[in-house]
Amino acid sequence: MNAYIFPGQGAQYPGMGKELYQNNAQAKTYFDQADQILGFSITNVMFNGSDEDLKQTKITQPAIFLDSVIPILCLGEAFKPDMVAGHSLGEFSALTANRCLSFEAGLKLVYQRALAMQKACEAEATTMAAVLGLTDEEVDRICKTFTGVVAANYNCPGQIVISGSIQAIEQACEALKTAGAKRALALKVGGAFHSPFMQPAADDLSTAIHSTSFAQPICPIYQNVDALPHTNPEEIKTNLLAQLTAPVRWSASVRQMVADGANVFIESGPGEVLCGLVKKIAPEIEAKHFVR
């Protein structure tokens, strides 16, 4: 069984999507449509912008979404996934790929999500940090000793990202290193994603999600909040909102997909970060990048 997976923020790079735009007429139509939907030329930023341009959350998220889903949409009815999952932002790409969301609806929600998250980031001084070399349980235990720090991404065994206020993250990093972490390093991100600090973003996005039409998907999506398969559109909406303030349970999602029969993971989007994580979570399983 095949499992298609879609990356989140951080996978972007200058020039992303340009080759696809130039060589595939159908892809060009989708990219041009995206410029119209958003009301500005995101393709210009993707194809010609700098690293700094692409790091803006309001650019990063729709750019990664487009680079992830357009190659899949070009397959049309030939795309037959058995299951899908996305890391954080990638969940919207996964839901567009499995036809739960239309291309336009998915892009609009991603852009609204990006604006809401950027606004929440600007409201308080928060950040995230990568922690290497400790178990999930050890990181959870240490985070609980500090106010304003939570585990945000359970990426793979020995690799967890924590989220919280800048001061609390600094203190937690010192405690984690004392406990034996190989590394506990603050990341260059806009704020504390997947933490209670994102509640204002969830509030802002709630109306948009609940007023958007979600169709019956063609296959289950394994969602970040519980690492379980979902096909009910209302459950999917609820989980998408909860995802903003809850941790990304990526390790558990991959394990569950393997338990449910996945024997090949195919990553669609910029980079191959998720392929690398799958190989660490389930070394016996094939993981490869989608060939455009």
Q: Which residues have a catalytic role annotated?
A: 88, 194
Euclidean distance between CA atoms 23 and 71, whole angstroms: 12
Q: Are 27 and 71 in contact (CB under 8 A)?
A: yes
**DSSP state letter for 248:** B
Task: Identify whether the C-beta of residue 18 lies closer than 8 Å to the C-beta of residue 280.
Answer: no
**Count of Cβ atoms closer than 10 Å to residue 122 Cβ:** 10
Q: Kindly list the distances between the CA atom of residue 272 and the CA atoms of 60, 85, 102, 116, 141, in Å, as whole numbers in the listed order.
A: 17, 15, 25, 27, 31
Closest CA to 4 of 292, 225, 289: 289
Chain centroid to CA 213: how far? 21
Among 138, 12, 131, residue whose Cα is nearest residue 67: 12
Q: Map tokens 């996305």 to a residue.
A: 86
How many CB atoms are closer than 10 A to CB 40? Answer: 12
Residue 193 CA to residue 191 CA, distance in Å, equals: 6
DSSP string of 47-102, one letter each residue: HH--HHHHHSHHHHHHHHHHHHHHHHHTTGGG---SEEEESTTHHHHHHHHTTSS-
Asked if residue 7 lies in contact with residue 289, where contact means CB atoms within 8 angstroms, the answer is no
